[in-house]
Every structure is written in structure tokens, then in C-alpha cells.
Amino acid sequence: MPLRPHKVTRLKDVAERAGVSTATVSRVLNDHGPASEEARSRVLRAVQDLDYHPNWLARSLRGRRTNTIGLVLPDIENPFFTSLVKGVEQAASAQGWNVIFCNTDEDIRREEALVRTLIDRKIDGLILCPTAGPHDYMAPYMERRLPVVTVNRALRDFPLPAVTSDNLQGAYEATRHLLAKGMRRLALILGTPNLSTTEDRLAGCRRAAQEFGLAPEDLLLTVGHARTAQGFQAAQDCLDMSPRPQAIFAFNNLMAEAALMAIHRRRIRCPADIALIGFDDFRSAAALTPPLTVVEQNPAGIGTRAVKELTRIIATGEATQALHLIPTRLIIRASCGCTAPAA
């Protein structure tokens, strides 16, 4: 028995059953152009009877519009991006848009291939979180004026609109919080170099340091590359410094968790011996011992905002180079040495 992958009821069948032409059926269904009450009701009736559903492929081919946007992210397993996906999905489906999602695994070549595939599939627009590396491949698409919005990370090579957290402000507030408690030896575990997120966060730390009269080089820098293993290593490097830093500020969720594990492993007390703050909240942050103080981001908000901006570009045809900053919030739990507010 062969599978019948595609439906067989066609617009033509509806037309025949209703005793009208295909044009009339189409006009009724799309509410586009005139149609008598008589014809309208007969068409609707026929659609019901036959359980007709339009062929999306034919419709898109003819209409040059797929109502689909592509979403290309580095790592879906990072809960930050997971929530971003969800935000995008909800905002998109609320407006009748579909989303095709892809994973680059932080591989620029894979990113290029995925974007290519999505464009071949005639997406109407693209939401992209660019991987580190040169984005020359984007040039032809830019000329074609493909609607693109970048999220989380801004791309310097091309003038594209970007929706990101207010990384500078978030890092500034976290750093200021530690400095205000009198700490002066602060160690930072940086994310992937040359990414706008890493640089903006570092700039925020530096601004706070300056306000408290520290020189830029007073901040102790290690590089964790945003991944658990390297974050763990970087945290160990911090703990090996002498004198030991009074606080560690890890630039993402994975590294903050890794840092806490490194601290536990050494049997150093947190926050008594060393304070810890992470960038980006995550589900388990409050369940850890001690509960983690973090800079909360709003990934779903970034997603919905990106959809909003993208659909605007698609509708109006005018792209701006605007940078949309989504606010962050410092969530004070116990790991920074404060007692958490009543839970």
C-alpha cells in the first residue's frame, strides 16, 4: 500500500462541487475581490464537505510569500537560546508566521550553509545570532536586501538591526554591586573573545571600576570561552591567584555554574570566602547552594522584539541599523554575600 503524502482535494474540486470557477473559489477563500452571497455560501459549503485545505506550496509559489521566517542560533541546548526560540515562536505564530529553526553549533561554515538552505526555501526574513568569525558570505544577501535582524550579538561587518540585552548596563550594575560591598579584587571570566556580548559586558565592568577609582588593569581577567569546561578551568585559575580574588563574575550561565563547582571542589566557602555572580539567570540558579546572584536577561523578550522588528522590515521594506537594547535586572540571591530577600 503506497503512502499518499499529499492531500488530493484541490481547489478545482471545490469549484466543481460548488458549480463555480476556480477564480471565484479563490476570491471567496481569500476574501479578495467581489463575490455574491450565493456563490460565497456554496463555496464555503463545498469546502466543508470536501474538507479542503489549500496547498501551501502552490500558494507560496504563486504569491511569492511564504509567511515563514528563519531562525538561526548557535546552541539550542543553552537555555538562554531555548527561551529565545520560544519567544520568537510565540510572537511569530501570534501573527500567523511560521518559524524554521536551525542550529549552527558555533560553526561559521555551518551557519553559512544553513542560511543558504533557508533562503533557498524562500523564507521571507531571517533572525540570526551570528557565530564568531567573518561574515563575508552575507554580502550577496545584503545586496538582495533580504530582511535580517540579528539577536543577542551585533554584527560589526554589516549594518544590520540588532536586538540584544543591555549587556553594558547589566555588567555595570553587577560590578558596582560588588564594589559597593567594599570588594576590590574582582576576577572576571570572559566569554568568547571578539563577540559583542563579551566586549560590552567587559566595558560595563570597566565603567563601574572606574567610578570606584580602580584602574582598568585592576580587574583580573580570565577567558572561559563561554563553555563549561573552559569556564571551570578559568575559575580554577582565579582561585589560584594570590591573593585570591574576593569575587568572581562569570560572563554566562554555564561558566557561573562551573565556577561554583570549582569553588566547591576546593572546599572554599561561597560567599564567605569568595563571592560569585553570573550573567544570565537559569532554572537551577536558585536551587544551587548558595543560590546564585545573577544578571537576569530576557531572552523571550529579545525574541519577540526581533520578530516585531523583522515583520516591520518585511512589511515596510525599510531596514534601519537600529540597536534595540532589552533591559537586564540584577537578581540578588546569596552567592554575592547578601542575604537573599524573602523567597
Nearer to a second copy, 147 or 170 (CB): 147
Is 10 a residue that touches DNA (CB under 7 A)? yes
Q: Is 78 in the site for DNA (CB under 7 A)?
A: no
| Beta-bridge partner residues of 249 | 188, 277
Q: Pick from 322, 291, 336: which is nearest to 149 by CA?
A: 322
Site for a second copy in 235-264 (CB under 8 A): 254, 257, 260-261, 264
Please report whether residue 47 would count as binding DNA according to CB under 7 A: no
Is residue 283 near a second copy by the rule CB under 8 A? Answer: yes
Pairing of strands 186-190, 220-223: parallel
- Minimum Å distance from CB 66 to DNA? 12
CA gap 188, 247 in Å, rounded: 9
Phi first, then psi, for residue 294 (nearest 5°) are -140, 160
> In whole angstroms, how far apart are CA 229 and each of 76, 148, 225, 262, 276?
18, 33, 9, 11, 18
Among a second copy, DNA, none, partner that 267 touches (CB below 5 to 8 angstroms by kind): none
- Contact between 229 and a second copy per CB under 8 A: no
User: Residue from 41, 48, 284, 320 that binds a second copy (CB under 8 A)?
Assistant: 284
- Per DSSP, 128 falls in state E
Phi and psi (nearest 5°) for 93?
-70, -25
Q: Binding to a second copy by residue 45, rule CB under 8 A?
A: no
Rounded least distance, CB 122 to a second copy, Å: 6
Three-state DSSP state, 55: coil
145 binds a second copy, rule: CB under 8 A: yes
Give yes or no for a cis peptide into 147 (omega within 30° of 0). Answer: no
Distance in angstroms (rounded) separating the CA atoms of residues 232 and 259: 6
Q: Does the footprint of DNA cover residue 121 (CB under 7 A)? A: no
Count the residues of the shown chain that bind a second copy, applying the rule CB under 8 A. 60
CB of 290 to a second copy, least distance (A): 9
d(CA 165, CA 167) in angstroms, rounded, equals 5
Give 33's DSSP letter: S
Asked if 11 touches DNA (CB under 7 A), the answer is yes
Instruction: Return the number of the residue (99 or 248) whose C-beta is nearest a second copy.
Output: 99
Binder of residue 238, out of a second copy, DNA, none (CB less than 5 to 8 A by kind): none
Shortest Cβ 307–DNA spacing (Å) = 24
The CA distance from 177 to 276, in Å, is 11
The verdict on whether omega for the bond into residue 299 sits within 30 degrees of 0, i.e. cis, is no
Q: Is residue 209 a contact point for DNA (CB under 7 A)? A: no
Instruction: Work out whether 12 is an interface residue with DNA (CB under 7 A).
Output: yes
AA identity, residue 268: I
Of 238, 234, 178, whose CA–CA distance to 209 is shortest? 178
Among 9, 16, 22, 60, binds a second copy (CB under 8 A): 60
Residue 86 near a second copy by CB under 8 A: yes
Residues that bind a second copy (CB under 8 A): 1-7, 51, 53-58, 60-61, 64-66, 76-77, 79, 82-83, 85-86, 89, 98-103, 116-117, 119-122, 124, 140, 144-147, 254, 257, 260-261, 264, 282-284, 286-289, 313-314, 317
